[in-house]
């Protein structure tokens, strides 16, 4: 059971989409798990053959529980090692009608214990949790998950906050001309330029891209920009746009539209929730000037964008009405200082002055 | 299409984005984005849905004319929504 965010403690298996004996490859969806954030599709991260499904639909298990075993591609089926089973476990298995061959032991030397057998047995608890949750408890669960993550963030992360006003005239003019050429189905939103500028800025300041884990900073393997998406009726998820620095604006727009649609329909993938390396929150649509966000642990930074609005500004010594936007950075002081944060916001500003290069 | 038929298409498009929308409760002169809490992605999806149903190309420069229900009906009628056969 993967941790789909630092606030998740357990998940309920809804169904298996692959079954023992099926060939699976990296990226395949093998199961659906119900969490506080809705139904999530679980992906595999290696090629091989699904050997054993160890959790049954309806079962709620803690994060870290082995859901299934996968035999690697090109590896012959392992000769079954002599299975160690405690005598009590053998008796309980017989009583409950559990197939011992389907169980991976957690006792000494991998021995199957009574607890392992009981966990594998379809008990009354499993039947009870198989009832599909209704939306009201889901909303309450999601509030609890957000509260837990944000409380942890405020308790553990020494935040610092920076803000920078960015002139958006160049970006908006370029986007207007670009969208005039595009059919309605291929138009690009300003948010896509902002996400791309964040992704490219992180290449220049990689210390803001990653995780604070076990007392140290771990740089992200890629630039996976978590996009805060408000759900109708309340709640929030921030799934990742993977490798945002490598995607052109048209592709990024398609991915963002798909991500928002799936977030609101409750059909996100496990990797999208587990591996964002930074979060971007764009509250400009709601009309606020600036958003000072709370970092989503274990990430170390969050970028906020406010609305783009015409204001008086000086250009070449003369006052003019310019479309201005406030960008903010919430940084984790354990990982970076205001200096790096300033360099990063300045990079976003510079990148947005040359939208054609994004 | 009559203005009432265009209005039905608009309300249907809005309900795909905001399922709680009730045709009877939309103030025809209120700004839709504020009234229904639509963000820019929602509004783009609204324009896409109108494009799909009515076959009308809506340039970005005209988005402001879709800002209220009454405005959208008038705009789409002027763009020839009446000439497009109602999809079955």
Check if B58 contacts A (Cβ < 8 Å): yes
pLDDT at A102: 72
Hey, what are A289's tokens? Answer: 């000037």
A74-100 tens-digit pLDDT:
655 544 456 777 777 787 777 777 777
A180 and B40 within 8 Å at the Cβ level: the answer is no
How many A×B Cβ pairs under 8 Å? 37
A176 and B57 within 8 Å at the Cβ level: the answer is no
Q: Under CATH, which number does the domain A10-128 receive?
A: 2.40.50.100
Average pLDDT over all residues of chain A: 88
Quick check: A110 pLDDT over 50?
A: yes
B20 and A191 within 8 Å at the Cβ level: the answer is no
Does A351 or A83 have the greater pLDDT score? A351
Domain boundaries, chain A: 10-128, 139-357
Residues in chain A, how many? 358
Set of chain A residues whose Cβ sits within 8 Å of the Cβ of B44: 187, 189, 257
pLDDT bucket at A134, cuts 50 / 70 / 90: very low
pLDDT at A135: 60
Determine the Cα–Cα distance for residues B79 and B85; give it in Å rounded to an integer: 14
Quick check: B35 pLDDT over 90?
A: no
Same fold for the pair A10-128 and A139-357: no
Check if A189 contacts B (Cβ < 8 Å): yes
Check if B23 contacts A (Cβ < 8 Å): no
Determine the Cα–Cα distance for residues A132 and A139; give it in Å rounded to an integer: 14
Determine the Cα–Cα distance for residues B26 and A305; give it in Å rounded to an integer: 30
B58-88 tens-digit pLDDT:
999 999 999 999 999 999 999 887 545 545 4
Across the range A199-213, mean pLDDT stands at 97
- Looking at A36-113, list the stretches that DSSP marks H as alpha helix, in order from N- to C-terminal side: 87-96
Across the range A261-289, mean pLDDT stands at 92
Top CATH class, A139-357: alpha beta
Determine the Cα–Cα distance for residues A179 and A278; give it in Å rounded to an integer: 28
């Amino acid at each position: 059971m993967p941790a789909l965010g630092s606030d998740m403690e357990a998940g309920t298996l809804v169904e298996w989409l692959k079954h023992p004996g099926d060939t699976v490859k990296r990226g395949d969806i093998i199961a659906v798990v119900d969490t506080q954030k809705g139904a999530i599709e679980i992906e595999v991260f290696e090629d091989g053959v699904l050997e054993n499904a160890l959790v049954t639909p309806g079962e709620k298990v803690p994060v870290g529980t082995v859901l299934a075993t996968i035999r690697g591609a090109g590896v012959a089926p392992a000769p079954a090692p002599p299975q160690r089973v405690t005598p009590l476990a053998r008796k309980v298995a017989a009583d409950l009608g559990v197939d011992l061959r389907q169980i991976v032991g957690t006792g000494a030397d991998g021995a199957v214990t009574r607890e392992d057998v009981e966990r594998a047995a379809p008990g009354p608890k499993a039947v009870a949790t198989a009832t599909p949750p209704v939306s009201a408890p889901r909303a309450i669960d999601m509030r609890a998950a957000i509260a837990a993550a944000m409380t942890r963030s405020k308790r553990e992360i020494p935040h610092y906050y920076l803000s920078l006003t960015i002139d958006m005239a160049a970006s908006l003019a370029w986007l207007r001309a670009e969208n005039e050429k595009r059919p309605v189905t291929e138009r690009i939103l300003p948010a896509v330029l902002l996400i791309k500028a964040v992704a490219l800025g992180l290449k220049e300041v990689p210390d803001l891209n990653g995780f604070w884990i076990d007392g140290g900073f771990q740089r992200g393997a890629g630039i996976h920009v978590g996009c805060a998406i408000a759900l109708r009726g309340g709640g929030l998820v921030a799934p990742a746009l993977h490798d945002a620095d490598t995607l052109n604006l048209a592709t990024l727009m398609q991915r963002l539209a798909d991500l928002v649609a799936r977030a609101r329909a409750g059909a996100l993938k496990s990797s999208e929730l587990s591996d964002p390396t930074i979060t971007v929150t764009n509250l400009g649509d709601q009309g606020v000037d600036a958003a000072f966000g709370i970092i989503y642990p274990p990430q170390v930074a969050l970028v906020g964008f406010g609305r783009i609005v015409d204001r008086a500004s000086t250009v070449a010594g003369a006052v003019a009405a310019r479309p201005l936007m406030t960008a903010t950075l919430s940084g984790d002081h354990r990982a970076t200082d205001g200096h790096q944060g300033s360099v990063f916001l300045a990079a976003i500003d510079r990148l947005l002055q040359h939208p054609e290069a994004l | 299409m009559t203005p009432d038929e265009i209005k039905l298409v608009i309300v249907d498009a809005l309900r795909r984005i905001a399922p709680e929308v009730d045709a009877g409760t939309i103030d025809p002169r209120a700004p839709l984005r504020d009234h229904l809490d639509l963000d820019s992605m929602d509004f783009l999806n609204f324009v896409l849905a109108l494009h799909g149903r009515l076959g009308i190309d809506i340039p970005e420069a005209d988005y402001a004319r879709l800002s209220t229900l009454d405005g959208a009906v008038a705009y789409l009628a002027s763009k020839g929504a009446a000439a497009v056969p109602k999809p079955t």
